Chain A
Amino acid sequence: MKVVRSVKAWLGILRIAYKLLTNDRPKFAALIVGIAFAVFLMVQMTSIFAGILGRASSTVTNIGARVWVMDPAVKTVANNIPMPDYVLDAVRSIDGVKFAVPLYSGGALVRLQSGSYQAVTVVGLDEGSLYGRPELVEGKIEDLYAENAFIAVRDAEFSKLEKPQIGSEFELNDHRGVIIGFAKVTSAGLFGTPTLYTTYKRAIQYIPSSRYTISFILVEPKSNADIQYIQEQIRRIGYIAMTREGFVSKIARYYMFQTGLGTNILIMTVVSFIVGLSISGQTFYTFILENREKFGALKAIGAKGRELLAMILFQAAFTAMMGYGLGVGLCSLLIALAKLRLPNYAASITYINLGIAFIMVVIIAGISSCIGIRKVVNIEPFETFRG
């Protein structure tokens, strides 16, 4: 009740602030466009980045194992370093491991029915469990045990396989391959290659490999509490075990900081933040300066410092929110349009991007209004009075 009444008491003052802001159409438009532009750039950059990061770890997401064991030098799924078989036995013997299975992941060249060659990613699943298998949209998973069986993933790259049907054949290093089903996965890959699933054994049999063949060991712990112990034990034998989330963020860090792509996008995000800050900060600052003597008159009439403060903060917050909304809207529209034309356009607006842009907008509005606030709160009504 008391709160309602005190909010009501401020309404008139905020309404004046609102009118002072929005009745100055050109300046208000400039403010909003400035912020919207900054938000647009930030969201665009970070969502392309998020899209790329999501895809970079798509295998990890799609396979979905809780714990991944690999060579410590592995940085991404694409560049795995094969491990010898004894590691699998060692992992299986660790207390707290419910089960552990090998995974093969590697690139290969297939010869399609038309005779053309196409690079593909082949994922080989453990025979016994088919652990990490994708969800089939067509066909039966048991057929994977049939001779030469492969499952094709229907993602954005699928068309590169020349519209295969169930039963379509292809050649993989002089071996015959047959499509026995189609799967869908939650995350598409980054590298523009179609994905084929088969069994681990068939994968290493068809694809020539080095002495060692296990790309990753997928571990299901007995409970979450066991994970730490498992990690320690695996470290002892010279390998590294990471949780799914840990691996995803390791991949993300790799792309973010150790590839030109990630660093450039980070720089662009910072640049767009600075551009947005300077455009809207500058405009808001001149807006406040131009109204400075009016604020002085308000103070002379009897407005208190905190009332002027509330007015400015309200103006900044309102502008920021409008600009934010416009920027995000624009960005979603553009990404939606881009996805219509390019089905594998890697951009996804996540809550995190939106959050980052939001925080940056709040910082922009905060900094701009802080500079203005000092100018206004320090104003001497006597200055206004003397004219």
Chain B
Amino acid sequence: MTATAVKAMGLVKWFGEGDVKTYAVRDVSFEAYFGEMLYIVGPSGSGKTTLLSMISGILRPDDGSVLVDNKMIWSLSNDQIADFRLKSVGFVFQDYHLFPRLTTAENVAIPLILRRENWDNAIKTAKEYLEIVGLKERAELTPRKLSGGEQQRVAIARAIAGRPDILIFDEPTASLDGDTGRKIVDFIKKDVLNDRRCIIIVTHDGRIYEYADRIMQMEDGRISGTEQGAPHEE
């Protein structure tokens, strides 16, 4: 757990101009490591999503930089940043953003197809990942027919199908009941995390703190403290 996966340096982001100018993130620096599950927690509006977006190539910071795989991602061209997101980052959005009109296998195949993989291979790979998340039998169904927890797992399969170095989860358990939420995070920790991968999770959900390797507290756009996660019995 030593190699650095993501290094954020002096990140700043504000919204609005003049009187309405508000800082969402003020001078945040931290590192996230391969093999670690890092939580970012904090009150609503403290800047967690904004920070997550800046380190994953979604939102351009107003100041500071992000180093991933020896590249300052915000110095790249827009196309290169899109490629960075496509190849190095896996996203699981809070409300999943699955395509209701595509089958789960097609949903999972999307990052592969965007990488110009041939359709049949992409679907085949997607099915392998659906098997990993335990949804092999659901490959031909549309996401609407699945439960919330199952949809979450489809979203996870889509995020990992491209074998990214960094996995980003924003509130992964917000719309799941406690039991399902814990099961999902347990699964992420056991089957998705490995030592070539770094997982960053933003959450409010105290019920899943036990899975964290490290917990970073945010308050009012700043990091107000970091603690090692509770040791979690295997």
Contacts and interface: CB of A to CB of B under 8 A. Distances in A.
Interface residues of B, number: 33
B99 A20 contact: yes
Contact of B97 (A20, A297, A303): A297
Contact of B93 (A304, A307, A387): A387
B76 interface: no
Contacts of A303: 82, 86, 114
Interface in A220-272: none
Contact residues of A: prevailing secondary structure: helix
Contacts of A15: 113, 119
Given A9-B116, A297-B93, A385 B49 contact: yes
Interface string A196-240: 000000000000000000000000000000000000000000000
B114 A301 contact: yes
Interface string B97-110: 10101100010001
B69 interface: no
Interface in B107-127: 110-111, 113-114, 116-119, 122
B79 interface: yes
Interface residues of A, number: 31
B170 A385 contact: yes
A385 B82 contact: no
A294 B95 CA distance: 11
B113 A16 contact: yes
B119 A11 contact: yes
B107 to A, nearest CB: 10
B58 interface: yes
A385 B58 contact: yes
B87 interface: yes
B42 to A, nearest CB: 15
A301 B170 CA distance: 14
Contacts of B1: none
Q: Which of A300, A382, A384 has the most CB of B within 10 A?
A: A300
A387 B49 CA distance: 10
A301 B110 contact: yes
A9 B59 CA distance: 28
Nearest to A293: B97
A12 B119 contact: yes
B94 interface: yes
A381 interface: yes
A386 B47 CA distance: 11
29 contacts: A12-B117, A12-B119, A16-B113, A19-B106, A20-B101, A24-B101, A297-B97, A298-B110, A300-B91, A301-B85, A301-B111, A302-B82, A302-B83, A302-B84, A302-B85, A302-B87, A302-B89, A302-B111, A303-B86, A303-B114, A304-B82, A380-B59, A381-B58, A382-B59, A384-B97, A385-B58, A385-B170, A387-B94, A387-B170
Interface of A: 8-9, 11-13, 15-16, 19-20, 23-24, 293-294, 296-305, 307, 380-382, 384-387
Interface of B: 49, 52-53, 58-59, 78-79, 82-87, 89, 91, 93-95, 97, 99, 101-102, 106, 110-111, 113-114, 116-119, 122, 170
Given A12-B113, A302-B89, A380-B59, 11 more contacts: A11-B119, A15-B113, A15-B119, A19-B106, A293-B97, A294-B97, A301-B111, A302-B84, A302-B86, A305-B78, A387-B93
Going nearest first, the 10 A-B pairs with the smallest beta carbon separation are: A302-B86, A297-B97, A23-B101, A12-B113, A302-B85, A9-B116, A382-B59, A12-B119, A304-B82, A387-B94
